[in-house]
């Protein structure tokens, strides 16, 4: 008897077959996730897009499946919707900018100043708020921002008072909620930034501020852009924080939410607006090269 591979059990034979047939291997690997992606993900998106072309019977509020573009006409022609859309983009941009400004020094400390053995612990500390429920955190801020609440009490001795519920409060709370998503990519970017580039810049005569502007910031642009994808899209899609601390503020998210029961096709048409904006945002971000490094 010739000596070949040791006694081939079923598992071993199967592994051998798969090894010889890479296509079969690939299809086994991807069938389940692809089915999920196509049905649940793209399916629901197309359903959203299709239902945006239906209307509602204004009398019974039931959906009428007749094709028309009335919803989009309403969106484009009504000042209210345009204002809400612009306000939502403004909030998302403000949250993103605030997150970047706050995240940078934090990430600089965790990635470059803190002792290496403390760094993983600090990253965990930054992530900890994400383990708590979103609603709990939003309601906590409602208490902080309440009239005579913590913020008023803190600012009182300075002769100031908190912003109360409204647009400012919404931006503040969203910034708090999404900050970790900005800190993490900047932390990773700063960790990879070679020390000797900073040395080289100083060596060539650049003061700290100059090195920051000419070397650190341009090299971290992809990291900041990556973080901004999270902060921007999460802020644009949010509808809960604004209900809890936004007072009377209307953003596109809560407009959709309030229309779901009344006029589902209009809500669907509204829902395509953030999708289009975020696609545009991603295309803009792609130009910085941030997405190729994700």
Partner 1 sequence: MEGKAIRLQSLRKSFGKTEAVAGVDLEISDGEFFSMLGPSGSGKTTVLRMIAGFEPPTGGTIELAGRDVTRLAPFERDVHTVFQDYALFPHMTIEQNVAYGLKIQKVSKADRLRRAREALADVRLDGLGDRRPSQLSGGQRQRVALARALVSRPRVLLLDEPLGALDLKLREQMQIELKELQREVGITFVFVTHDQDEALTMSDRIAVFNRGRVEQVGTPAEIYERPATPFVAGFVGTSNLLTGPAAEQVVGETGTFSIRPEKIRVLKEDRDGGTPDASGAVGTVAEVVYLGDATRFLVDLDAGGRLTALQQNLETSSEDVAAYRGSRVRLQWQPRHTVRVPDAP
Give the binding site for partner 1 (CB under 8 A).
194, 196-197, 199-207, 210, 214-215, 218-219
Q: Which is nearer to partner 1, 29 or 204 (CB)?
A: 204
Query: What is the C-alpha separation between 137 and 174, in angstroms, rounded?
Result: 10
Residue 65 Cβ vs partner 1, minimum distance, rounded to whole Å: 54
Question: Which residue, 2 or 196, has its beta carbon nearer to partner 1?
Answer: 196
Based on the number of CB atoms within 10 Å of its own CB, is 291 exposed (0-12), middle (13-18) or buried (19 or more)?
Answer: middle
**What letter would DSSP give residue 289?**
T
Q: Which residue has the tokens 């009398």?
A: 59
Query: Strand, coil or helix: what is 55?
Result: strand
Give the span between the Cα atoms of 110 and 286, in whole angstroms.
Answer: 27
At its nearest, how many Å lie between partner 1 and the CB of residue 284? Answer: 19
**Contact call for residues 94 and 231 (beta carbons, < 8 A):** no
Nearer to partner 1 by Cβ, of 65 and 210: the residue is 210
CB of 163 to partner 1, least distance (A): 39
Toward partner 1, which CB reaches closer, 210 or 286?
210
Residue indicated by tokens 């899209």: 233
Q: Which one, 140 or 198, has the nearer CB to partner 1?
A: 198
Q: How far is the CB of 192 from partner 1 (least distance, A)?
A: 11
* Shortest distance in whole angstroms from residue 286 CB to partner 1: 17
């Amino acid at each position: 008897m010739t000596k070949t591979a040791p006694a081939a059990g079923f598992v071993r034979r199967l592994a051998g077959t798969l090894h010889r047939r890479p296509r079969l291997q690939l299809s086994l690997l991807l069938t389940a996730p692809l089915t999920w992606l196509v049905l649940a993900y793209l399916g629901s998106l197309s359903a959203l897009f299709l239902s945006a072309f239906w209307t509602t019977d204004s009398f019974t509020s039931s959906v009428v499946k007749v094709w028309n573009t009335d919803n989009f006409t309403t969106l484009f022609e009504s000042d209210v919707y345009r204002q809400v859309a612009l306000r939502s983009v403004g909030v998302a941009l403000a949250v993103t900018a605030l997150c970047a400004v706050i995240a940078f020094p934090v990430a600089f400390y965790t990635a470059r100043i803190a002792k290496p053995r403390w760094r993983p612990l600090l990253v965990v500390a930054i992530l900890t708020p994400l383990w708590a429920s979103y609603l709990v955190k939003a309601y906590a801020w409602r208490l902080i921002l309440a009239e005579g609440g913590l913020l008023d009490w803190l600012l009182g001795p300075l002769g100031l008072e908190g912003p109360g519920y409204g647009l400012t409060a919404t931006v503040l709370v969203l910034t708090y909620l999404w900050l970790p998503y900005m800190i993490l990519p900047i932390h990773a970017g700063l960790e990879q930034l070679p020390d000797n580039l900073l040395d080289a810049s100083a060596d060539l005569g650049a003061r700290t501020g100059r090195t920051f502007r000419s070397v650190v910031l341009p090299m971290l642009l992809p990291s900041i852009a990556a973080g901004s994808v999270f902060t921007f899209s999460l802020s644009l899609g949010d509808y809960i924080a604004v209900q809890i601390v936004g007072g009377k503020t209307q953003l596109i998210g809560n407009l959709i939410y309030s229309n779901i029961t009344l006029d589902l096709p209009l809500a669907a048409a509204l829902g395509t607006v953030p999708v289009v904006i975020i696609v545009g945002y991603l295309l803009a971000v792609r130009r910085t090269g941030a997405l190729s490094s994700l």
